[in-house]
Structure 1
Amino acid sequence: MKQITDEEIMLAVANGALKKLSILFDRHHVRIYNFFYKMTQNKMVSEDLTQEVFMKVLKYRTSYKEGNFTSWIYTIARNIFSNYYQKQKKERVNLIEDDITSSEEVLFTSNNKDELEHLQKSLLKLNDKDRELIVMNKLQEIKYEQIAEILDSSANAVKVKTHRALKKLKEIYFQSVKTVSNEN
């Protein structure tokens, strides 16, 4: 039996088969949540933003036009994150929670929790655009072509920007490692 594509399901939802949205939710909510979590480092905010994405999918279902569903839903997620970030910008607080989430909630694993925490803090020191590229490509495993569609850019430009963002992350990570080791 052929599995129905996300695009076919979304077209059905757009045409009134609202119960089928649960299939898309089941397929995508964890990845959308992880995207937000990597951007905010806040579980509750990530849950709220994920819920908002699917509310927008339902609200704007008739605007979906046979394009790549993953690109469409990540465009919605990016817009929601941008709105959230703008609201938080004025009263920006440290979004890093003291407790480390369980390894099930984190996309990558590490035997050393200190290294994982350090990597997460380093990721938060990047600007939002660089962090978003790393989260989408390396942690969400979205292909350059899809990211290009989401960002309205070219795949080559996305590849170059992602490479540069990774280089910045590496510099931040190892710069603060040196600082800590020099203090000891």
Structure 2
Amino acid sequence: MIASAKNKRFQTLVLPHLNSAFNLACWLTRSRHDAEDVVQEACLRAFKFFDGFHGDDGRAWLLTIVRNTFYTWYQKNHEQKQNTLFDEDLHSADAQDAAGMEHADNNPETLLMRKDSERLLQQGLEALPLEFREVMVMRELEDLSYKQIAGVVGIPIGTVMSRLGRGRKLLAKILAPSNPEA
């Protein structure tokens, strides 16, 4: 009976956030396959230690485990994975549309420009150093609060705000068109 109560609570508080966990893992690992491994390991850890979870924010708790699992994985595999290419299939505009982000304007020229802009933004995010990319993904793509991000990453809120500010400036610099005359 106790095990089924744990299962039900786990299903209610944690499992609805698997998409967020997978999204974060994809951005951190830069690989759909590796992200699947990280999320699977994180879910196993989450279930194993679920008895110690006494909060209400299963999403932030799971993302913390995903992040920690990633860093464990990264330490083992970092040399091989630093040169992994961006997974275009995972982060394409079509995948975002399938997730419910419908576009009102279906003009082919507008769609092409939007897809190109999304591609440039994704490449810009991918080019950010990991410490900036992870907070940018959690804030801008996963819509976590500064407090939640601080809890997930284990840093003060001020550091979260600083990393977001610096990450946004770096992203703007990366996305700025290069000036050949400068």
Change in CA separation of 1:69 and 1:97 when aligned onto 2, cut-off 3 Å: closer
Call closer, same or farther: CA 1:97–1:146 in 2, change over 3 Å.
Answer: closer
Q: Tell me, which stretches of 5 or more residues in structure 1 are unaligned? A: 1-12
Task: Provide the C-alpha distance between the structure 1 equivalents of 2:16 and 2:56, rounded to a whole number of angstroms.
Answer: 17
Rounded to whole Å, the distance in 1 between the matches of 2:26 and 2:174 is 20
Structure 2 Cα separation of the partners of residues 98 and 135 of structure 1: 16
Question: Structure with the greater relative contact order (CA < 8 A, sep ≥ 6): 1 or 2?
Answer: 2
Matched, 1:45 2:39: no
Q: Deviations over 1:3-29 (max 9, x none)?
A: xxxxxxxxxx88952244233454101
Match of 2:22 among 7, 30, 33: 33
Contact kept in structure 2, 1:122 and 1:169, CA below 8 Å: yes
Residues 39-63 of structure 1 show CA distances to partners (whole Å, capped at 9, x for unaligned) of 2332222222222221111111222
Select which of 88, 94, 99 maps to 2:84. 94
SS at match of 2:55: coil
Cα deviation for residue 101 of structure 1 reads 4.4
Structure-2 residue corresponding to 1:115:
117
Q: 1:140 to 1:121 in 2, by over 3 A?
A: same
Q: How does 1:98-177 map to 2 (within 5 A)?
A: 99=89, 101-103=91-93, 105-106=95-96, 111=111, 112-174=114-176, 177=177
User: Is 1:84 aligned to residue 73 of structure 2?
Assistant: yes
1:42-87 deviations in Å (ceiling 9; x for gaps): 2222222222221111111222233643332221111111122222
- For 2:163, the aligned partner's letter is K
Which residue number in structure 2 is paired with residue 10 of structure 1? none
CA distance 1:51–1:102, change in 2 (3 Å): same
Q: Show the counterpart of 1:4.
A: none
TM-score (norm 2): 0.76
The residue aligned with 2:178 is 178
* TM superposition shift of 1:119: 1.7
Q: Does 1:73 align with 2:66?
A: no
Compute the RMSD of aligned alpha carbons.
2.9
Counterpart of 1:57 in structure 2 is 46
Counting matched residue pairs gives: 167
Q: CA deviation at 1:104?
A: 5.5
SS in 2 for 1:134: helix
Q: How many angstroms does 1:37 deviate by?
A: 1.9
Q: CA contact under 8 A between 2:32 and 2:87: conserved in structure 1? A: no
